[in-house]
Amino acid sequence: MPITTCVFDAYGTLFDVAAAAREAAKEPAFAAIADTWPQLAEHWRLKQLQYSWLRAVTGAHDDFWQVTQEGLDWSLEKLGVADDPALRERLLALYWELQAFAEVPAMLRALKDGGLNTAILSNGSPAMLDGAVQSAGISDLLDVSLSVESVGVFKPHASVYDLVGQHYGCAKGEVLFVSSNGWDAAAATGYGFTTAWVNRGGDPVDRLPWKPAHQLRDLSGIPALAGL
């Protein structure tokens, strides 16, 4: 079945989530993380995801902005800088200004020029996603940002993946789903999407019942996978 619809996870896939810590670390006021910002970024992302999974399985849903703050607070304490409210405030502000990875605009433009649907499907709240899309300057290259807030549970719950068919009226086999999270791409494979895992770090494949159909180092190869 030909691909008609390309759907992207947002954070870590289209948008560089390490950028907030990296940019803050360049500022003289936050020299405390000049050497440890990579660890801060890694802890922050991992806790953000872990808290989303725990909220999903326990039914204790809250929006992704709350989870993002909680993950940051744990990470700051882990690195011994939890007593710097200005650092916390700056990191959270920068999270609303994440830039897209360098290849994203041209990749999305190729998909749109090829007549394909393009969308975000993300744990992010609508406000967060709008901020990221606007900051990255790619709003004209995306049809819609679909947020888990409309179903009240985080990925990889199947009701999140349902949002694509509900919006576009397309069959699962028409969808190429792209994520930088191996577990997300794997779950989407189990759901019935064609999937691509953007494995920028060269990580091992997750030991799950399903595997991503394709594996790439960046997003530049997505138009070819979509048949363009």
Which residue in 6, 43, 7 sits closest to 120, CA to CA? Answer: 7
9 included as an active-site residue: yes
User: Which residues are part of the catalytic machinery?
Assistant: 9
